[in-house]
Chain A
Amino acid sequence: MRHVYIIGTGATAVGEHWDRSAASLAIEALNSALGTIPASRLGALYVASALSGTLHAQSQVGALIATAAGIPGVEAITVEAGGASGGVALRQACMAVASGAVDLAAVVGVEKVTDVLDARREAALALATDADWEAIHGVTLTALWALLMRRYMHEYGYTADDFAPFPINAHANAVANPRAMYRFAITADKVRSAPMVSEPLGLLDCSTAADGAAAVIIASEGLARELCANPVRIAGSAVATDTLALHSRSNPLWLAAAAQTTAAALRSAHLTHSDVQVFDVTDPHGIAAALALESSGFAERGAAVALAREGAITPKGRLPLATGGGCKARGDTVGANGVYQIVELVAQLRGQAGAAQVDGARVALAQCMGGIGATVATHILTLD
């Protein structure tokens, strides 16, 4: 298998883009990622979108974006795996380039969620749960995370306040990200006094679904050297699944697909846990980040919340997390999140992350999750 490189990234601001279509957001991100490379050189286009089929009654978004990019004819597909869509699309591009089938590919994550009202959006997000055995009971993704948070508090003796460092860190980091939706800091008092969304989850420990698109250009080693002065290598790439319904797992507090993909991605990168210097995971709530860190092997079971409290997840800590603001403060672009993660981590490795820069970062881990980890994609990015 050939080595695979990221040679360009681009993204739109995350927010409420009332005047923009999904295609218009996607093209802005793609153009920015391509830079001076003509779109006609792309051998394949992988479009990640979790909700377009439901919210816009539009399938074949791959063909839609290819048309908008002026390259109808290109091999293009849409990848849907809930919140893991972006990472799963990236995995397809990695395999295509590593195999030699394609030399240059684009991954575009796009989500347009503000065209519908809240209840329809909640129902669309709940499609990532099991329709027959979870969603029919009125359970939302937020409620499922809340169930896990309460159980975690019960088993390990934490209070809801103990999770506040996650959104506080996310907001603090988003200040430096010009594309983030919420570029302001929040305090523990604010988190504590926020209204409840799904007990014990309060409003300031819940991400906001928002519009946005992000793109990365993936190239073989030869093309990367030709087209880019500072390529970033995708040294590890893995996707795995877990049971679709949370209740089918022997231990609901263990995200088996996060464990499996992290181990596989590190193995193929010939790296160990202690080599990773900066992280981005699916973190719509503190509990999601905590379970991702624990299941992936970066914290003992029950210890991630204590580590966050001690400051480990800040850019100066041992496990810097959500340096671009994460799902909470960047804004939750669902199927596009996995591509935003790559855009932000490439900036980290290139030393372009501003106030949220992790000093000397050379190895980054991106992990995105569909539902409660029913699909997980994990990638390791390195500087050669």
Chain B
Amino acid sequence: MDLAKHWRLRHARYRLEGQRNRLTGEVRFPPAPPRPGEAEDIWEPYVLSGRGRVYSFSVVRQPPEGFEDQPPYLVALVRLDEGPMVTAQLTDCDLDQAAIDMPVEMVTRRLRDLGPTGLIVYGYKFRPIV
């Protein structure tokens, strides 16, 4: 299910591809269509380094549908080195190891399994830089 939707997002999900503004150099993630009034090609694809620091983190113990096999899992806001902030899980990280300002790097992992008739959705998570 939802095949087209996840396929469409593959560059952002698999390699953290955002966008850079050709005029100002501003980097943004996730990618988005040009805003009203902006030139059609003003934002070019730009792959982020995948490195950043934890802005904040928490643990999900009461999961939403589709994540029942995962708790307890760490979720975080990560401030990427290029400036944008992303929401993602922390992985390869003990619950008591996570800390604000901890340096992390992006890895590609399974996000969720949409079931026997659906996709296994892969995407970015972040792990501590050791």
Chain A residues close to B by CB (< 8 Å): 118-120, 122-123, 125-126, 132-140, 142-144, 146-148, 150-151, 154, 196-201, 245-248, 252
Residue of A nearest to B121 (CB): A136
Residue of B nearest to A196 (CB): B61
A196 near B59: Cβ-Cβ < 8 Å: yes
A119 near B59: Cβ-Cβ < 8 Å: no
Residues from chain A with Cβ under 8 Å of B87 in the complex: 133-134, 137, 139, 144, 245-247
Residues from chain B with Cβ under 8 Å of A146 in the complex: 58-59
Residue of B nearest to A126 (CB): B64
User: With an 8 A cutoff between CB atoms, is B7 at the interface?
Assistant: no
Within 8 A of A (CB), among B13-62: 30, 55-62
**Alpha-carbon distance A147/B59, docked complex (angstroms):** 9
B100 near A199: Cβ-Cβ < 8 Å: no
Determine which of B5, B9, B66, B86 lies in contact with A247 in the assembled complex, contact meaning CB atoms within 8 Å.
B86
B66 near A123: Cβ-Cβ < 8 Å: yes
Number of A-B residue pairs at CB separation under 8 A: 106
**Alpha-carbon distance A138/B90, docked complex (angstroms):** 11
A147 near B77: Cβ-Cβ < 8 Å: yes
**Cβ proximity bits B73-96 to A, threshold 8 Å, 1 near / 0 not:** 101110000001111110000000
Interface residue SS majority, chain B: strand
B58 near A122: Cβ-Cβ < 8 Å: no
**Alpha-carbon distance A144/B77, docked complex (angstroms):** 9
Instruction: Give the total of B residues in contact with A, Cβ under 8 Å.
Output: 34
Determine which of A125, A132, A136, A198 lies in contact with B61 in the assembled complex, contact meaning CB atoms within 8 Å.
A198
User: With an 8 A cutoff between CB atoms, is B111 at the interface?
Assistant: yes
Residues from chain B with Cβ under 8 Å of A132 in the complex: 5, 9, 30
* A150 CB, min distance to chain B CBs, angstroms: 5
B61 near A197: Cβ-Cβ < 8 Å: yes
Determine which of B9, B56, B61, B67 lies in contact with A151 in the assembled complex, contact meaning CB atoms within 8 Å.
B56
User: With an 8 A cutoff between CB atoms, is B103 at the interface?
Assistant: no
* A304 CB, min distance to chain B CBs, angstroms: 18
Residues from chain B with Cβ under 8 Å of A252 in the complex: 55-56, 77, 85
**Alpha-carbon distance A198/B63, docked complex (angstroms):** 10
B60 near A198: Cβ-Cβ < 8 Å: yes
Q: Which of A139, A140, A196, A200 has the most CB of B within 10 A?
A: A139
Residue of B nearest to A145 (CB): B58
**Alpha-carbon distance A381/B60, docked complex (angstroms):** 38
* A70 CB, min distance to chain B CBs, angstroms: 37
Residue of B nearest to A116 (CB): B65
**Alpha-carbon distance A120/B67, docked complex (angstroms):** 11
Residue of B nearest to A146 (CB): B58
**Alpha-carbon distance A147/B75, docked complex (angstroms):** 8
Nearest 5 interchain pairs by C-beta = A146-B58, A123-B64, A123-B65, A151-B56, A122-B64
* A131 CB, min distance to chain B CBs, angstroms: 9
Residues from chain A with Cβ under 8 Å of B9 in the complex: 132
Known A-B contacts A133-B30, A148-B56, A150-B57; the reply to A138 vs B75 at CB < 8 A is yes
B58 near A198: Cβ-Cβ < 8 Å: yes
Residue of B nearest to A139 (CB): B75
Residues from chain A with Cβ under 8 Å of B61 in the complex: 196-198
* A118 CB, min distance to chain B CBs, angstroms: 7
**Alpha-carbon distance A248/B56, docked complex (angstroms):** 14
User: With an 8 A cutoff between CB atoms, is B11 at the interface?
Assistant: no
Residues from chain A with Cβ under 8 Å of B85 in the complex: 247-248, 252
**Alpha-carbon distance A246/B82, docked complex (angstroms):** 18
A142 near B62: Cβ-Cβ < 8 Å: yes
User: With an 8 A cutoff between CB atoms, is B123 at the interface?
Assistant: yes
**Alpha-carbon distance A148/B85, docked complex (angstroms):** 14
